[in-house]
Structure 1
Amino acid sequence: MNDPGSVFNPELVIMYGGITILCITIFSETGLFFCFFFPGDSLVFTAGVLTETGILPYPWWLAALLMIASAIIGNMVGYWFGRRTGSLLMTRRDSIFFRKEYVTAAENFYGRYGGMALVLGRFLPVIRTFAPIVAGVIKLPFRRFFFYSSIGAALWVVPLTLAGNLLGRIQFVKDYLGYIIIAMVIGITSPVLIRLMKENRKAKKKNEKIN
């Protein structure tokens, strides 16, 4: 399979780390705020491809179930972190692992979509990590949180894993997997992230006028 360059390679992560590292990575990206940069989308899709090629020796549906469970547990950790100490995040200094604008983006997204932010946010890097934390900060009832989180995890993992499994039967996909993953992630996330950035700028301007 083709390596697109010196970037985080999800294929190598799964090949050498197996299902254990795969699930730990999914858990971390969806539950730990400082792991927001982990490539969740590409890992899930690549896992589907590798279940077809045999590098990941599990049926695609079993790999999907394990990733869904990891994503839900990760969200629960993020939720409880937000509920207990999440408000302290805004007092932290910006760093390479954290910026206040990430929390603000998640708050704006949540304010617009409510509980559905936990479903829609699954498909957006950064939002995927911080939406559960915001849900904890605003003390969304746990049952409601768990409901939306579970639906979001299933809708995120199953289509990507199944698509990877089906497309993994095509030689072209096997040969150029790295490039396909990059194109897929950019195509899915760019329009929404651009829109969120515009909304955040508008919100900042409104706050500046008020102040």
Structure 2
Amino acid sequence: MHIQEWLENVPAISVYLLVGVVIGLESLGIPLPGEIVLVSATLLAASQDHINPYILGTCAVAGAVIGDSIGYLIGRKGGQPLLNWLGRKFPKHFSAEHVATAERSFQKWGMWAVFVGRFIALLRIFAGPLAGVLRMPYWKFLIANVLGGIVWAGGTTAVIYSVGKVAEDWLKRFSWLGLVLALLFGLGSMLVMKWRSKKAGPAAGGTADAETAEPEPVPAGD
């Protein structure tokens, strides 16, 4: 099956669920490529009419908000032992240095750390669990969480979808432009080769005549 046909047959519901689940799991503290999945799905929506970008964006926002909230509750219940466990499980993401940096950000910026953290890969993983561990009031966390989820997930979907549509239209035009340029290039190359062959013809003929001409007899000396 051609790749275009395969993409057209991908069920839209599976794309929506994949985006929501991956972003949700990332938001509750599991290192997953949520942003990459969202961008890829949005580009797919830009080229495939059966995937609705509004539903896709809504699923992304829902995954972000719900995942962060679950992460907050887990962090509030688990506390510091949870961070220690995450550090052993995911040392690359939850090292002591990363945790200390995130804690300083949360203590300094509070709600803004939750909001801005949505746009930073490492803090996006930390935001929910760490806010719970630090016992940030849930109403503050929820406001920052919802606003951050809407701006990040909704904004990313809107921007990437618009860019994808423009790119799709440009590529369609480029395919015709490429064909025209290829034809012009081929025609030009053929004309140049014919011109060079005509130019080289007389020169070659002249050289051949000179080579085949019999040498004049040298007069005998007296």
Q: Which of the two has higher C-alpha Rg? A: 2
Q: Is residue 2:122 matched to residue 1:122?
A: no
Task: Give the 3 Å change call, closer, same or farther, for CA 91–59 of structure 1 in structure 2.
Answer: closer
Q: Which residue, out of 33, 47, 62, partners 2:41?
A: 47
Aligned CA-pair RMSD: 2.8
More RCO (CA 8 Å, sep 6+)? 1
Offset, 1:15:
8.9
Offset, 1:45:
2.1
1:195 equivalent in structure 2: none
Cα distance in structure 1, aligned partners of 2:157 and 2:143: 21
Number of residues of Structure 1 aligned to a counterpart in Structure 2? 159
Question: Where does structure 2 lack aligned partners over 5 or more consecutive residues?
Answer: 1-10, 172-222
Q: Is residue 2:76 matched to residue 1:83?
A: yes
Q: Is residue 2:105 matched to residue 1:147?
A: no
Q: 1:109-155: per-residue Cα shift (whole Å, max 9, x none)?
A: 21221111111000111211112212111211111111110000011
Name the aligned partner's letter for residue 39 of structure 1: P
Q: Which residue, out of 26, 29, 42, partners 2:26?
A: 29
Q: What's the TM-score once normalised by structure 2's chain length? A: 0.63
Q: Is residue 2:53 matched to residue 1:60?
A: yes
Matches within 5 A, 1:65-76: 65-76=58-69
> Quick one: percent identity of the two aligned structures?
24
Cα distance in structure 2, aligned partners of 1:172 and 1:46: 18
Cα distance in structure 2, aligned partners of 1:83 and 1:173: 50
Cα distance in structure 1, aligned partners of 2:131 and 2:154: 24
- Preserved contact between residue 116 and residue 148 of structure 2 (Cα < 8 Å): yes
Offset, 1:103:
2.1
Task: Give the 3 Å change call, closer, same or farther, for CA 158–41 of structure 1 in structure 2.
Answer: same
Matches within 5 A, 1:138-177: 138-169=134-165, 170-171=167-168
1:111 equivalent in structure 2: 107
Offset, 1:105:
2.4
